[in-house]
């Protein structure tokens, strides 16, 4: 049987790279769009066997180029998302207009499957611009392509993430670490490979559920996550609750930086738990294996943030 071709937007991120490996192992070819082949191409080329991956350079704002890519696509997965706005990369363009455009193309070219990455907790976060733009994008997609599958995961982690790795870096540098809302916000972190293998299964098994929530097996508060990371990197730090008024002031300062550590919109988002809502089917309702344990997985790469490293004398003895 001729392999199907899956068009992936956002292929160079942690989820995209893992998804390329998962899809191509299952005899699905991938076309990956990237802004800069010279910068990202070498990373992507290592994710698949020759003949199974085509890397195309282009901008998501080049509508004609995007439309062209749908000519040879059977499937499409959109993984593009941002946590802060910068120029044209604002929430409306990335979370609303782009999904609206490509879901329309998916319908026009009669694709077999359109999968879109969203996020858990967005329905509750009515004061977050990020969350509301995600919701609006979902509605546009389902209006254009009613067979679309929207996946809403909790925090996704792996050695390639910008969550555990950034937190361990900051915990290694700061003797006092600020926490917001007393660190009580709840999460269900999901391992990246568990999520991407599930996406592959959605495609292979032709699952038609419009919205599927994804969560790992453990519910943890943000403070508990930090405490687990501190144990893994063998460090002791003071986790200091920060008043929200002060947090907002520091966020205003961070927003001036090219890559802010936190923004005021993210502060608003942190008020809401990032766990299964119970309103939709989840990975638990399907035969998806999302059982990887947070500490067990992070322990495999946490040595990079320990003083002694992986093969020190202390560790060998």
Give me the residue spans of the domains in the chain.
4-158+189-217+275-291
Is 60 exceeded by the pLDDT of residue 315?
A: no
Please choose, from the candidates 48, 17, 202, the residue with its C-alpha nearest in 3D space to the C-alpha of residue 115. 202
* Residues contacting 35, CB < 8 A, separation 6+: 57, 58, 59
Strand partners, 271: none
What does the alpha-carbon distance between residue 281 and residue 3 come to, in Å, rounded to a whole number?
29
What does the alpha-carbon distance between residue 231 and residue 312 come to, in Å, rounded to a whole number?
18
* Residues contacting 125, CB < 8 A, separation 6+: 131, 132, 268, 269, 271, 272
* Residues contacting 249, CB < 8 A, separation 6+: none
Is 50 exceeded by the pLDDT of residue 316?
A: no
Torsions phi, psi for 31 (to 5 deg): -110, 120
Determine the pLDDT at residue 88: 92
Please choose, from the candidates 8, 304, 13, the residue with its C-alpha nearest in 3D space to the C-alpha of residue 156. 13
C-alpha angle 70-115-279 in degrees, rounded to nearest 5? 155
Residue 296 — pLDDT band, cuts 50, 70, 90? very high
**Cα atoms found within 13 Å of the Cα of residue 175, Cβ hemisphere only:** 0
Specify the pairing of strand 281-282 against strand 211-214.
Answer: parallel
Q: What single-letter DSSP state applies at residue 285? A: G
Determine the pLDDT at residue 314: 53
Residue 311 — pLDDT band, cuts 50, 70, 90? low
Burial class of residue 69 in the structure, from the number of CB atoms within 10 Å of its CB (0-12 exposed, 13-18 middle, 19+ buried): buried
Could you report the per-residue pLDDT of 237-281, keeping only the tens digit for each? 999 999 999 999 999 999 988 889 999 999 999 999 999 999 999
Please choose, from the candidates 212, 5, 34, the residue with its C-alpha nearest in 3D space to the C-alpha of residue 115. 212
Which residue's entry shows tokens 């009515």?
Answer: 126
**Which of 39-43, 99-103, 261-265, 267-271 is the least confident region?**
39-43
Please choose, from the candidates 83, 114, 98, the residue with its C-alpha nearest in 3D space to the C-alpha of residue 199. 114
CB atoms within 10 A of CB 77: 27
Determine the pLDDT at residue 159: 96
Residue 310 — pLDDT band, cuts 50, 70, 90? low
What does the alpha-carbon distance between residue 113 and residue 202 come to, in Å, rounded to a whole number?
9
Is 50 exceeded by the pLDDT of residue 317?
A: no
Please choose, from the candidates 145, 64, 65, the residue with its C-alpha nearest in 3D space to the C-alpha of residue 99. 145
The verdict on pTM exceeding 0.75 is yes
CATH architecture of structural domain 4-158+189-217+275-291: 3-Layer(aba) Sandwich (3.40)
Which residue's entry shows tokens 């700061």?
Answer: 174
Determine the pLDDT at residue 210: 97
Measure Cα distances from 175 to 169, 230, 271 in Å. 12, 12, 25
Determine the pLDDT at residue 309: 61
Q: What single-letter DSSP state applies at residue 3? A: P
């Amino acid at each position: 049987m001729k392999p199907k071709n899956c068009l992936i937007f956002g292929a160079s991120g942690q989820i995209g790279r893992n998804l390329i490996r998962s899809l191509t192992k299952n005899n699905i070819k991938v076309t990956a769009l990237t802004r800069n082949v010279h910068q990202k191409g070498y990373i992507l080329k290592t994710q698949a066997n020759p003949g199974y991956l085509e890397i195309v350079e282009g901008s998501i704002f080049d509508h004609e180029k995007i439309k062209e890519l749908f000519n040879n696509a059977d499937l499409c997965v959109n993984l593009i998302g941002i946590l802060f706005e910068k120029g044209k990369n604002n929430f409306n363009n990335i979370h609303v207009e782009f999904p609206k455009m490509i879901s329309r193309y998916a319908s026009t070219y009669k694709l077999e499957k359109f999968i879109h990455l969203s996020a858990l907790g967005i329905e509750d976060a009515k004061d977050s611009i990020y969350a509301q733009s995600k919701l609006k994008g979902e509605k546009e997609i389902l209006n254009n392509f009613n067979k679309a599958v929207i996946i809403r995961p909790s925090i996704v982690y792996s050695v390639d993430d910008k969550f555990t790795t950034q937190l361990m870096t900051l915990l290694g540098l700061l003797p006092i670490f600020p926490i917001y809302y007393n660190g009580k916000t709840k999460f269900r972190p999901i391992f990246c490979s568990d999520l991407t293998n599930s996406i592959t299964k959605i495609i292979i098994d032709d699952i038609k559920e419009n919205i599927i929530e994804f969560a790992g097996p453990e519910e943890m508060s943000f403070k508990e996550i930090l405490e687990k990371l501190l144990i893994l990197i063998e460090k002791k730090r003071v986790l200091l609750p920060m008043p929200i008024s002060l947090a907002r002031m520091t966020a205003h300062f961070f927003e001036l930086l090219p890559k802010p550590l936190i923004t005021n919109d993210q502060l608003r988002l942190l008020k809401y738990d990032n766990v299964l809502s119970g309103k939709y089917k989840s990975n638990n309702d399907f035969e998806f294996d999302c059982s990887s344990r947070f500490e067990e997985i992070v322990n495999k790469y946490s040595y990079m943030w320990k003083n002694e490293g992986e093969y020190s004398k202390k560790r060998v003895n």
